[in-house]
């Protein structure tokens, strides 16, 4: 009976703290009015908080750091923009932070806009969290007119060429 209880308690701990996969999702489209890319990055707030804590970027909780402008800028610059980069003609494209939202389901979204770029093609690096979590999988949904193309990013494939 003691073995059964011990096994049961250990399984509860394993199930309660299991985190088998890590995901983030991005939606991107080319805006012909500004000749720029608009991006929405959606990820687990828990994963972002844990990652920021491991990188010693978090000064309090994620929610409090996002409210504070300086702390929020650190999170965006050192985590979000390091894990999501766009190049065109081998030149880094500047991404501007537009805002964020925290949702009740435990996710958060960051809204980004690029500088003006040509509507040809770009190279997109999406290695967000992969330096700490090798299980991380990121997915980009590129919306082009009425179509959409899905690009997958893994620890062994962090970059894709996107036809704009």
State the pTM of this model.
Answer: 0.85
In a domain, 17, yes or no: no
Structural domain for 154, as ranges: 22-163
In a domain, 92, yes or no: yes
Secondary structure (DSSP) of 66-103: HHSHHHHHHHIIIIIHHHEEEEETTEEPPEEEEEEEE-
- Tokens 């992969």 -> residue: 130
Q: What is the pLDDT of residues 35-92, one digit of tens each?
A: 999 999 999 999 999 999 999 999 999 999 999 999 999 999 999 999 999 999 999 9
Q: Is pLDDT at 9 greater than 60 in this prediction?
A: no
Residue 6 located in a structural domain: no
- 57 inside domain: yes
């Amino acid at each position: 009976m003691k073995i059964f209880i011990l096994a049961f308690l250990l399984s509860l701990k394993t199930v309660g703290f299991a985190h088998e996969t890590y995901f983030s999702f991005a939606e991107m489209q080319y805006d012909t009015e500004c000749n720029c890319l608009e991006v929405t990055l959606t990820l687990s707030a828990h994963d972002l908080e844990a990652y920021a804590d491991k990188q010693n970027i978090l000064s309090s909780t994620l929610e409090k750091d996002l409210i504070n402008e300086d702390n929020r800028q650190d999170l965006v610059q050192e985590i979000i923009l390091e894990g999501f980069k766009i190049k065109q003609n081998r030149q880094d494209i500047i991404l501007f932070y537009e805002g964020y939202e925290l949702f009740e389901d435990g996710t958060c979204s960051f809204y980004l806009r690029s500088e003006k770029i040509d509507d040809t093609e770009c190279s997109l690096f999406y290695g967000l969290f992969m330096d700490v979590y090798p299980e991380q999988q990121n997915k980009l949904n590129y919306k082009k007119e009425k179509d959409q193309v899905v690009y997958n990013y893994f620890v062994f494939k962090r970059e894709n060429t996107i036809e704009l």
